[in-house]
Amino acid sequence: MGVNGAPVSTATFFSPAKINLFLAITGRREDGFHELVSVVAPLEFGDTLQAESGGPEPGFSLTCDDPAVPADGSNLVLRAATAFAAATGWPGGVSFRLEKHIPLGAGLGGGSSNAVAALRALNELAGRPLELARLAELAASVGSDCPLFLHDGPVVMRGRGERVAALAPEAAARLRGRRVLVFKPMFGISTAWAYTRMAAEAPAHYLPPGEAEARVAAWIRGNAPAEELLFNSMGGVAGAKYLALPVLLEALRAEFGLEARMSGSGSACFALLPDGTTATTLAALTARIRELWGPEAFVTDTKIK
Q: What whole-number distance in Å separates Cα of residue 304 and Cα of residue 154?
A: 8
Q: What whole-number distance in Å separates Cα of residue 238 and Cα of residue 50?
A: 34
| Active-site residue, selected from the candidate residues 18, 100, 184, 305 | 18
* Residues 228, 231, 236: CA angle, nearest 5 degrees: 145
| Active-site residue, selected from the candidate residues 31, 65, 66, 145 | 145
Q: What whole-number distance in Å separates Cα of residue 123 and Cα of residue 80?
A: 11
Is 18 a known active-site residue?
Answer: yes
Question: Which of 177, 120, 115 lies closest to 145, judged by CA?
Answer: 115
Residues ≥6 apart with Cβ < 8 Å to 8: 1, 2, 124, 125
Is 303 a known active-site residue?
Answer: no
Question: Which of 248, 297, 257, 234 lies closest to 34, judged by CA?
Answer: 234
Q: What whole-number distance in Å separates Cα of residue 81 and Cα of residue 49?
A: 13
Residue positions counted in the chain: 305
> Is the N-terminal amide bond of 267 cis, ω within 30° of 0?
yes
Name the residues annotated as catalytic.
Answer: 18, 145
